[in-house]
Structures are given as structure tokens and as C-alpha cells.
Structure 1
Amino acid sequence: MVVTGAIIHGDKNRFLDFNDEEHPIALQLGGSNPAELAECSKIAERWGYDEVNLNCGCPSDRVQNNMIGAVLMKHTQTVADCLKAMQDATGIAVTIKHRIGVDDQDGFNSLVDFVGTLAETGTKTFIVHARKAWLQGLSPKENREIPPLDYDAVYRLKALYPHLEIILNGGLTTTAQCSDVIKAGADGVMVGREAYSNPYVLVDVDNTFYPSSQYPSNQNQSNQSLPSRKEIFEQYVSYCEHQLTKGVKLHHLSKHVLGLFSGQPGGRLFRRYMSENVHKPNASIDTLWQAYECVENSNRAATG
């Protein structure tokens, strides 16, 4: 999520640049001012984004105080005004991500009213984190784990609004679980924390869900030819080399692959080496390869 003020007044290149390989790509915005959200939506379209998404799910105190995130579920008309302004400003898709409720809202009925009102703006895609958000008493981390998941609420929502695209988020850790959720009635899934902490979980997503995709990475690929963790790491090192020439800091790049070898021999040593060394003044591409040596050494020890 990027707040509107950062885009309007900040370094646009820093917040908005991406690589062509990332398409289709969405920009998630945080804000509650319709005019500012409209302006950022226009900027997103000019920058080449395929979608702009309004965040109504983040529970942190900082965003609450600025009327951003989950607190907006208590202000349905404000959200409707924001979505309408965003749609009027751009030709790309405008979507929303939200919770199934906030604090002591009266459960499913409030969710139905919220989605129904927003659908009247022309919004078609709703990404639903299947947990309530408790804005007082729970930290953002606890809000991702403690409120119980209620997938049934999402399935019921889809049944009531069959013409809308309802995407389920929350607690998904395997492609098998994702398949089950789609079979149960959701139009799609969003995987967040698991994809970040264990990115290799995504290795068979293309084969499972997009076998005939138009995207080049999915062509001529079978379950027998999935890339290994090492191959993915090598590709990411090449990406890092390019990004370093553009002035991107190594520690900003390396944190995205800390979990690539999760559950593998040397995975913890890899993560520790990266965490301890990429911030050093002399850190370079060699630092990444030195971290990978932790994996290689552990594999040799395990087999020899």
C-alpha cells in the first residue's frame, strides 16, 4: 500500500517504478480523500499499472488516525465516494480490498450492506480478507492471526452477489488450499504472507491455474520442468545487478528472497547471513552468492 500523499508529493519513481515482467500489476492506495485518490489513479494509469486498488483492510493505528485502511469500513459512503472518483478518473480497473467487518459491526449483514453500496458505484472486484479487524486491543500482527477466519462469509457473499468478482484472502498457504477455496465458490484467491515468507510456494501456480496463460513465463512449462530454488535465485541475482545500477539499495532487494530456501538445508543460515551482511557498506552482489554458499555447504554436508 502507498498512501496518496507519498505519490502526490513524494518521489514517484521510488513508489511507482516496476519491471515489465510484473504485469498484470496493481497499485494499492491508502487514502480517504476522493480528489487525491482520483489524482493518484490517473498517475497510476499513466505509469502503466493495470489496476488500482483501495485499501480498506489495514488495521494499524497510524493509518486509522488518517482515515485509511480498515477504519473506512465504518464510513461506507466515504468509500463509495472514493471509488466513484477513482473510476471517473481512469480507464483501468478499480478494485477494493477489505475485511469481513470491523470491531462490533453486526456481522454478515454489515458486510452485505457495505459491498452492496459499493457495487452501486460500478466496482466489480472485491478482495475480502476473511477476518474481522479489531481496531482497539490488537496489534496489526495480531489482526492478521487472532480474529478467526470465516471463509463461509465470503462464499455467502458471492452467492448473494453472483455478478461481482469475489476474491478470498487470509490463511492460505498451499495451492491445494487455493484450489479448494475456488471450488467452494470464490472467484479467486489472494496469497499474502505465505508468498512472502516462503516464495517458492508459488512455483506451481502457473501450471495449476493458468496453463494456457498469455504470459511468457507460463509457456512450455510442465510440472516436470519447474524451476529449482537455485535457478530462481540466479534469476533474482541478475535482477538485483540491474537494480543496483539504478541506485536501489541491496538490502531493499535482498529482503524479498530471505525465505526462498525456507525448510531446506541451510535455509536458516542463508537467511541469517543475508540479514547480517547486506546492510554493510561493502555489501555487493558477492554478498548474495556468499549467502547462497550456506545452502550449498549444508547440502554437501547432508549428502556427503
Structure 2
Amino acid sequence: MLDISFAIAPMMDWTDRHCRVFHRLMTRRARLYTEMLTTGAILHGDRRRLLGFDASEHPVALQLGGSDPRDLAAAAKIGEDVGYDEVNLNVGCPSDRVKDGRFGACLMAEPALVARCIDAMKRAVQIPVTVKCRIGIDDQDPETALDALARGVIAAGADTLIVHARKAWLNGLSPKENRDIPPLDYDRVYRLKATLPGVPVVINGGIAGVAEAKQHLAYVDGAMLGRAAYQEPWRLLRVDPDLFGEAAPHATMKDVLEAMMPYIESELAQGTRLHSITRHFVGAFHGVPGARAFRRHLAENGVRPGAGVDVLRDAIARVEDPVAASIAA
């Protein structure tokens, strides 16, 4: 059975390969996800740039956006060949671009099509195929909409369901508003799990930290942390100790950033700009004296041509007590 007892959500423009390496240095056990990549981009774009990842990221999953079963099968196979541990179909993203492309949350209205997509992907790969969805869209009744989607994809072979416990309002709310305004309905996801005892169900949406994730595990098989993991990454230092009874890879955020240095130097040598990596560190010392000076130094100096790891070291030196953001936080 696929183990997604704790995962970090796929987030557009956020969970790129640099972010995932950063997150992996705080938890060995969390499952990591790419940003959503469309089938068109994978089939016709720069695969090395789009799909490249560091070996340290395992277990890492590729999230796909699309609605053509053949294209999804082909993209899933490419992902498997590259070395991803799982392929996930996005049936939850509410952006206008996604709706216009007939993928993402709008597919909640087409459960039979989603099932065909999953069937095609399962036939194409040996790695697990999973689905991330909402509880419904617009005027759908979540009781019937979620059941219809879930039963269809399970019959098609889906290995796990990841459910964002909110509706997506495609008519009337922006993507940003869709992350906050539709009310959370965790009980709906719990009921889904109760009706599907043999199917792994992971809950997502509005979970503020590891302690709250742990509470959900009394009702579902896994919890997925999204914005909290990105905006306050120090929270991830609690994942391995609190959920798996294992020591965290590093004790403090200062240790984590020090462990990032060889990766950063390697990337800089290949032409990556420092800011492309350090932009993911903005919340590293949230609430710690000196955090604002840390952020300001990175923002002002990390974008300069030729900026190197000395900029990051100078920024860390502005944090008065980096130990405060340790696993004891």
C-alpha cells in the first residue's frame, strides 16, 4: 500500500526542485510533490528542465494536469522513466487557465472522463497513480460529487485519493479566494474514508501544522500540508519526530540552511541564480528576532548578478537566535 501518511502539497510556482530539496532537509519521511505540470508541457517542452530533480528528493511524485487519456498516459510513462515514485492527476486546481484547458477542478464535473484518464495512466506505468481533488465545484452536492469521482477512479485503479476539503467555485471566486473562502468540510472527507476502508484517503486544506495533521490521522490515512509548509517551513522539523518517532535530519533551521550550501554552490556553478533558490527561504525564521533583516538581506542582495552563498551566510548572521526555530519550536 502506498504510504502518504504525511505529504507536502503540490503548489504552483512554489514547490519547484529547489524548494523540494530544502524541504527534504527537514524531513526524510514526507512525500514531496512537483508543481502541476501539464501534459502539453511534458510532451512538447524541455523535459530536462521541467522534470529534473535531485536524488535526495525521493520519495517524490509528479503531478500532472490534463484530460486526454492518451496524453496523460504518455506523460505518466515519461515521469516513471525519469524516476518519479508516483504520478498524481490534478482534479482540484481552480485557476482560469486550468478551466480553459479542461483540466484541474473543472474535471469534478466529468467523473467518467477522469476514470478513463486514470485507467490509461495505470495501464502505462508500474508506479502508483493517485488523484488529488476537491469535494465538489460550484453548485455540486459534495455528498454525490465526491462519491461519484472517488468510486469512478477507484474502479479504474487509483491507488490513493487526496482530497482538498473545500469546494472550488469556478464561477465567482479567484484562485486565491478559492484557497480561503469556501468553507472547510473535513467531516466530508472523514465520511468518504469511512465508506472506503480499503482505499488510502489523504486530507488536505487549511491544516496549520504537524500537530493538526496528526489529529486528522485518527480519521484518514494521511494528511497533506500546503501553505503552512511553505510559509513557515520550520514546522517541517517536527514531522519525523512527531509522526514517525524518528529524529529530524537537522536540529535547527540554521543547520538546514548550512546543509543547503553544497547544493546551492553546485546549482550556481550550473548557472542557476541565487534568488531562484533563496526565495524559498523567506519564512525560514518566522517569529525569530532578526527574521526581517534576514529576509531583507536576501531580497536586496540575492537578486544581484553573481550573488553567491556568502549572501545567504550574511543573511543568516542577521538572525539573532536561529536555535529558536529548532524542532523545539
TM-score (norm. length: structure 1): 0.90
Are 1:168 and 1:186, in contact at CA under 8 Å, matched by a contact in 2? Answer: yes
The equivalent of 1:283 in structure 2 is 307
Compute the displacement of 1:68 (Å): 1.5
Provide the rounded CA distance (Å) in 1 between the counterparts of 2:66 and 2:314: 42
Residue 274 of structure 2 is matched in structure 1 by 250
Q: Which has the larger radius of gyration?
A: 1
Residues 100 and 130 in structure 1, CA contact (< 8 A), matched pair in contact too = yes
Which letter maps to 1:244?
L
Give the match for residue 238 of structure 2: 204
- The AA in structure 2 aligned to 1:229 is M
Aligned to 1:115: 150
Cα shift at 1:282: 3.4
1 CA distance for matches of 2:85 and 2:42?
17
- Note closer, same or farther for the CA distance 1:276–1:136 as it changes in structure 2 (3 Å cut): farther
In structure 2, what is the equivalent of residue 133 of structure 1? 168
Residue 132 of structure 2 is aligned to residue 97 of structure 1: yes
Q: 1:145 aligns with which of 161, 174, 180?
A: 180
For residues 103-149 of structure 1, the C-alpha deviation after alignment (integer angstroms, 9 at most, x for no partner) is 00022122111111111101130000000000122111111111111
**1:192 equivalent in alignment to 2:216:** no
For residues 176-200 of structure 1, give each alpha carbon's deviation from its aligned partner in whole angstroms, at most 9, with x where no partner exists: 11111011x1100000111001111
CA deviations on 1:57-105 (whole Å, 9 max, x unpaired) are 1100011100121011111111111111111100000001000110000
Q: Could you tell me whether the CA contact under 8 Å between 2:288 and 2:322 is conserved in 1?
A: no
The 8 Å contact of residues 204 and 226 in structure 1, kept in 2 or not, is answered as: no
**Which residue does 1:260 correspond to in 2?**
284
Q: Distance in 1 between matches of 2:40 and 2:172?
A: 28
2:116 aligned counterpart, secondary structure: helix
CA distance in structure 2 between the partners assigned to 1:101 and 1:178 by the alignment: 22
- CA distance in 2: counterparts of 1:238 and 1:227, whole angstroms: 18
TM-score, normalisation: structure 2: 0.84
Q: Which has the higher helix share?
A: 1
SS at match of 2:172: coil
Q: Deviations over 1:222-254 (max 9, x none)?
A: 7xx951111011112222112222332222211
Q: Which amino acid aligns with 1:66?
A: G
In the alignment, which of 237, 260, 267 is matched to residue 261 of structure 2? 237
Paired residue for 1:214? none
* Residue in structure 2 matched with residue 14 of structure 1 by the alignment: 49
Whether contact under 8 Å (1:55, 1:96) holds in the other structure is yes
Aligned to 2:214: 179
State the shift of 1:296 in Å.
4.0
Mapped to 1, the partners of 2:100 and 2:322 lie a distance apart of 48
Which residue identity does 1:293 align to in structure 2? A
**How many angstroms does 1:298 deviate by?**
9.8
Structure 2 stretches of 5 or more lacking a match? 1-35, 324-329
Q: 2:90 corresponds to which residue?
A: 55
Between Structure 1 and Structure 2, how many residues are aligned? 288
Aligned match of 2:30:
none
- Aligned partners of 1:38 and 1:5: how far apart in 2? 12
Aligned with 1:92: secondary structure? coil
Q: For residues 255 and 298 of structure 1, what CA distance do their matches in structure 2 show?
A: 18
Deviation of the 1:173 alpha carbon: 1.5
Q: Once the 2 structures are TM-superposed, how far is the Cα of residue 277 of structure 1 from its aligned partner? A: 2.4
Tell me the amino acid that sits aligned with residue 138 of structure 1: L
For residue 168 of structure 1, what is the amino acid of its counterpart? I
- Shift in alpha-carbon separation, 1:298–1:77, aligned structure 2, 3 A: closer
AA of the residue aligned to 1:135: L
1:12-66 Cα distance to aligned partner (Å, 9 max, x none): 1111111111111100011111111111111111111100000011100011100
- Give, in whole Å, the separation in 1 of the partners of 2:269 and 2:43: 26
The residue number in structure 1 matching 2:37 is: 2
- Gaps in structure 1 of 5+ consecutive residues: 212-217, 300-304
Cα RMSD after superposing both structures: 1.7
**Which residue, out of 32, 40, 48, partners 2:67?**
32
Q: Distance in 2 between matches of 1:151 and 1:298?
A: 35
Tell me the amino acid that sits aligned with residue 237 of structure 1.
M
SS of match in other structure, 1:173 = coil
After the TM superposition, list the runs of 4 or more consecutive aligned residues in structure 1 that deviate by more than 6 angstroms: none
Q: Give the SS at the match of 2:306.
A: coil
SS at match of 1:204: helix
Measured in 1, the distance between the counterparts of 2:119 and 2:54 equals: 29
Distance in 1, matches of 2:281 and 2:321, equals 19
